[in-house]
A and B are shown apart, each in its own frame.
Chain A
């Protein structure tokens, strides 16, 4: 008997220890803890500067002070396909998270986002959004499930220091794709660094190939009644790949790494080892927070668009969304957070000033060029409000700021976008790593592969 009692004590000790450990491990977004409504929100990208996290936590405190019944926990976050799926399936997405415009529609159709219409209407700006921008966060019947928080257009980011070293004028970024090519060559020859580099991995290759194709007058998909047709095998795409091939294999001006994703190309660019990259106009913030770029190095220009009416600038953006599994109370609290952190600064002077002040006190970038999510006048007004706090080298982004509003903005392809990008990754990688790659054949294969994905529905 004694031995049984001993064993029982041992077992219960183990169970207690297990219980304690289970209690220690937190699961995010536990509802309504301690009378308060608890929500988890996404903060900044992994690896960001401590001061950036500090600024974020300050904003959390401001929010909690204004909403004493809400308890906010933050979690670092970077949207990537695989992690997002795992979190989506696992139900571990925070209460508030962000997704790219391209995924909004499908997530809404599958019932994975909470309906925010009533809250956004209550905030009073539901009908002020730029309708094209809002559409990516709307269901078929017009309900708002994702709130557009930022819009970007693809821009040409360049390293002013490398421009100078190569004997180029850093205030005169290239205005045509021929100039991009010759500048890249000059940078590569005179500095030994990559003159131009391109993302190729984790669907960014397809994303950037699509951008370049748009800029050269092509489109990747055409809606044909109910059906979407893949038009990957188009002259714009062919020219895009041919240009890449010439820069890679004739000029040898693209460096030696052709397996970049979003994070790694930013890292290399910020470290001053790439002359020019094509990327969303909003990366400067992350270049500062994650990659420690020297502000003096940075330049941003509009992407050269080919002459002729069909060329367009690929644009996209970010939606803030709320986990559909959150309780109604949490959804309301989450909507308040979205309003506080992402939206109200664009519409209310005191919010804009507070936001800018908090960020600039932690030496975080304030005043980056933005594309309007409401209308241009609202954006101009916002820029006016925050003017005293602007700490980014706006003069080095003049080309973009002045040129962007004259460019024809074109939305990203809408059907199975990320899957199409994945197929195109392969095409770009093949052209950049195989001198004998057959562009026509690659495009026609990709075209039929993507068509098969589209037909599957």
Chain B
């Protein structure tokens, strides 16, 4: 014991104390608790009861579960269509700007620093479905609309994605921009020597060099969009007619949606199912970044 202290064992432990306490109480313990709760029936008032896989079964039997999964999938898909190529194009173009690049990236990044709640409440007003609404006014100038935006089951989800993309695309642009600068100049020089056109250079040099980052942002985006909550919660509350009910919103509704005590078992069961999906993605992601670090 004394040698342990003399060798610095105690001081090491002192330094580890914050990490151990914080992770122990606010990460490891809740993770264990989640696993336990998913096989229990509990409303925090009566004593918890072991129910086996019943929570998982009741979630799978809930028609809203499939609605939520489908909606989340749709959100992720539209988010990819909007949010994946556009930042890439912007970044590639921006990479060729020689003056005011700092200004451009600052403007592109600006929406990211607007607090998400502010952005959503602001866009909620933009989506005003009256002909006098902000977007309907603007589109009216070119003879389009008026559209119903959040007030229709078909356009509500794309409207949510549009705002989410606006709020997040700047961050992706900056990642791509960082990666673009990392492309070795010699590769372009060599391509020039071979007489490659600008398009050929983009296709054969830039994009292959960005492959890694593109894959990473792809996975990050899927991980992010499968946990979308704020937009449906604040824009539509999951409506109209559950068309924007997402998995996370459903978890929230299970746990906190009824005024008479939540179904915490179902909430954690659904969380765990989502977790397995996300952990698989994270593992792919981790493995990818690992393999690049070593190569």
Contact = CB atoms under 8 A, between A and B. Distances in A.
B14 A259 contact: no
B45 A110 contact: yes
A256 B151 contact: yes
B259 A259 contact: no
Contacts of B257: 81-82, 85, 422
B241 A85 contact: no
A433 B262 contact: no
Given A89-B44, A256-B128, A256-B130, A430 B259 contact: no
Interface string A411-450: 0000000110010011101101110010000000000010
Interface string B230-243: 00000011011110
A12 interface: no
A47 B90 CA distance: 43
Contacts of A82: 252, 256-257, 259
B45 A259 contact: no
Contact of B237 (A202, A255, A257, A432): A202
Tell me which of B150, B242, B255, B257 has the highest count of chain A C-beta atoms within 10 A of its own C-beta. Answer: B257
Contacts of A258: 151, 240
B269 interface: no
Interface in B212-266: 236-237, 239-242, 252, 255-262
Interface footprint category on B:
20 to 34
Interface residues of A, number: 41
Contact of B236 (A85, A259, A419, A434): A259
Contacts of B57: none
A103 interface: yes
A274 to B, nearest CB: 13
Nearest to B132: A192
B240 A432 contact: yes
A84 interface: yes
A261 interface: yes
Contacts of B45: 110-112
A200 interface: yes
Contacts of A80: 259
B259 A433 contact: no
A430 B241 CA distance: 5
B65 to A, nearest CB: 13
B241 A418 contact: no
Contact of B240 (A81, A107, A422, A433): A433
A85 B128 contact: no
B30 to A, nearest CB: 15
A201 B130 contact: no
B260 A259 contact: no
A430 B240 contact: yes
B78 interface: no
Given A85-B261, A112-B45, A202-B237, A259 B151 contact: yes
B153 interface: yes
Contacts of A65: none
A99 B44 CA distance: 19
B254 to A, nearest CB: 11
Interface centre among B14, B45, B128 (most CB of A within 10 A): B45
A82 B257 CA distance: 5
Contacts of B133: 256
Contacts of A99: 259
A106 B261 CA distance: 10
B241 A429 contact: yes
Contact of A89 (B237, B239, B262): B262
5 interchain residue pairs of minimum CB distance? A256-B129, A430-B241, A433-B240, A81-B259, A429-B240
6 contacts: A7-B14, A85-B256, A99-B259, A256-B129, A258-B240, A429-B241
Interface of B: 11, 14, 43-46, 63, 128-130, 133, 148, 150-153, 236-237, 239-242, 252, 255-262
